[in-house]
């Protein structure tokens, strides 16, 4: 099965490693063009028509999400996005925010299109790719250079201990419950996306794919279910502690230590125990 790997700087090694597992020969290209969804969809369409691969592999980056579904639709296909395992013709991806895995079987002829989840395949060797310059670039879109908001007030990446809070906290008024734990531990307070979306904690305390990527010695996930968008931001923690009322929450899959229970009972008890050690 011939495989076409579309490589951007992000996840390059992982995409090539996955492509090599999926079939051969593998052709790897990077698109040598300023990014817009229109321009990349057209460029990769041209490349796919030229190479006629059975499978096209992408990294599941924000860029891929922006244009690859458009491209797949031009071939009467949809993108089997964010796969975590498998090889043709059956791939594994998470559904219901990580509560379940699904085996997804490709049907019909190629080309098929898949994007791999960050961290699911180990990068191997040094990536070699050919640049592809499309014959006639087209776009209806004008993109400005990427920017960051004003410097982050909080740098979570340097923290040794992080206490992170999720939806389980229920209301803004309950934030002091986890603040007390952070204080007892001398930890930085962080949160999953929904907490920052709701304005209960500032955006610059967000951990996850759209926030900060952290690797503390200990990461306390309090009332965080563990959707992949959060996990990618904290997988590098040396020790993960999860406190959640749902024993099936995906966070327990990555936790080294866990307590299944009501955080409003467990966290205050934990604060007491930690205070005892500091007397």
Identify the residue among 2, 21, 30, 94 touching other proteins (CB under 8 A): 94
Q: Is 277 helix (H, G, I), strand (E, B) or coil?
A: helix
Identify the residue among 50, 170, 172, 256 touching other proteins (CB under 8 A): 256
Identify the residue among 122, 141, 153, 171 touching other proteins (CB under 8 A): 141
177-216: which residues touch other proteins (CB under 8 A)?
185, 193-194, 196-199, 209-213
Residue 155 found at the interface with other proteins (CB under 8 A):
no
CA gap 173, 194 in Å, rounded: 15
Residue 136 found at the interface with other proteins (CB under 8 A):
no
- What DSSP character marks residue 224? -
Residue 41 Cβ vs other proteins, minimum distance, rounded to whole Å:
8
Whether the CA torsion 23, 72, 68, 95 is positive or negative: it is negative
Residue 174 found at the interface with other proteins (CB under 8 A):
no
Identify the residue among 24, 50, 78, 124 touching other proteins (CB under 8 A): 78
Query: Do β-strands 188-191 and 218-222 pair in parallel, antiparallel, or remain unpaired?
Result: unpaired
Residue 52 found at the interface with other proteins (CB under 8 A):
no
Closest by alpha carbon to 121, among 15, 234, 12, 10? 15
Nearer to other proteins, 51 or 92 (CB): 92
Whether residue 96 contacts residue 130, with contact meaning beta carbons closer than 8 Å, is answered with no
């Amino acid at each position: 099965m011939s495989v076409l790997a579309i490589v951007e700087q992000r996840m390059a090694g992982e995409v090539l490693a996955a492509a090599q597992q999926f079939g051969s020969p593998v052709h790897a290209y990077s698109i040598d063009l300023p990014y817009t969804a229109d321009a990349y969809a057209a460029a990769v369409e041209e490349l796919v028509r030229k190479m006629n691969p059975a499978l096209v592999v992408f990294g599941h980056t924000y860029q891929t999400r922006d244009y690859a579904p458009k491209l797949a639709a031009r071939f009467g296909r949809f993108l089997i996005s964010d796969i975590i395992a498998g090889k043709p013709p059956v791939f594994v991806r998470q559904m219901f925010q990580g509560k379940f895995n699904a085996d997804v079987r490709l049907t019909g002829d190629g080309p098929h299109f898949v994007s791999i989840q960050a961290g699911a395949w180990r990068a191997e060797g040094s990536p070699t790719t050919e640049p592809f310059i499309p014959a006639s670039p087209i776009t209806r879109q004008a993109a400005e250079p990427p920017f960051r908001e004003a410097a982050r007030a909080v740098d979570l990446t340097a923290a040794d201990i992080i206490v992170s809070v999720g939806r389980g906290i229920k209301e803004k008024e309950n934030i002091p419950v986890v603040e007390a734990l952070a204080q007892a531990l001398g930890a930085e307070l962080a949160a999953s996306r929904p907490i920052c979306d709701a304005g209960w904690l500032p955006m610059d305390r967000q951990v996850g794919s759209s926030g900060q990527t952290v690797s503390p010695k200990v990461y306390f996930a309090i009332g965080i279910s563990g959707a992949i968008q959060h996990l990618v931001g904290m997988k590098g923690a040396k020790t993960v502690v999860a406190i959640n009322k749902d024993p099936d929450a995906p966070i327990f899959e990555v936790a080294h230590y866990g307590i299944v229970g009501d955080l409003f009972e467990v966290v205050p008890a934990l604060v007491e125990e930690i205070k005892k050690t500091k007397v």
